[in-house]
Amino acid sequence: MVPALYRQHRKQYTVSAWPAGNSTQLTPAQRETVDWVSAEYGKFSAIELSRMTHSELPWRVARGALPESEPSSTQLSAEIMRTYYARQLADPETAVALATANAALEGVEFDDDWQDRLRDVASGLVSADDLVAEEIARITGG
């Protein structure tokens, strides 16, 4: 979160105007990034996006034991973000290793079978949604 942007758009659940900045000054790579983010995340509501980011490890580490209602000015660790988000761009083997390490930080161990299933997702053989549905069915006996 960038404090100046947060203050400018605080409590706006839809940003339809951008009074500062000039999108024509974006480089092609920056434009590509903005377009990708819009395509991937534009379908989510502001509340959904907030819940998603607030459930991720970098946010939770920075917040520590603070209740959700408690404000904080603690910055997210660049190193934790780099490690956490690197698995989204990594080759399947690295992605599984990073996911396994992140889970271990949270006290969850992935066995070899689960790591194989994660490789299937990272390789595009199975969608993450399908894997989650399979796991729910396995747990609930459905």
In tens, the pLDDT along 98-132 reads 889 988 988 999 999 999 999 999 888 998 889 98
Q: How far apart, in Å, are the Cα atoms of 107 and each of 22, 40, 131? A: 45, 30, 21
Domain boundaries along the sequence of the chain: 28-65, 87-142
Binned average pLDDT, 10 residues per bin, the chain of 142 residues = 76 73 87 90 86 88 88 89 79 88 89 93 88 88 80
* pTM summary value: 0.52
Sequence-distant (6+) residues with CB within 8 A of 44 are 52
Determine the distance from the C-alpha atom of residue 39 to the mean position of all C-alpha atoms in its chain, rounded to a whole number: 15
Tokens 């006996």, located at residue: 141
Q: Name the nearest CA neighbour of 118 among 140, 136, 100, 139.
A: 100
pLDDT for 54 equals: 87
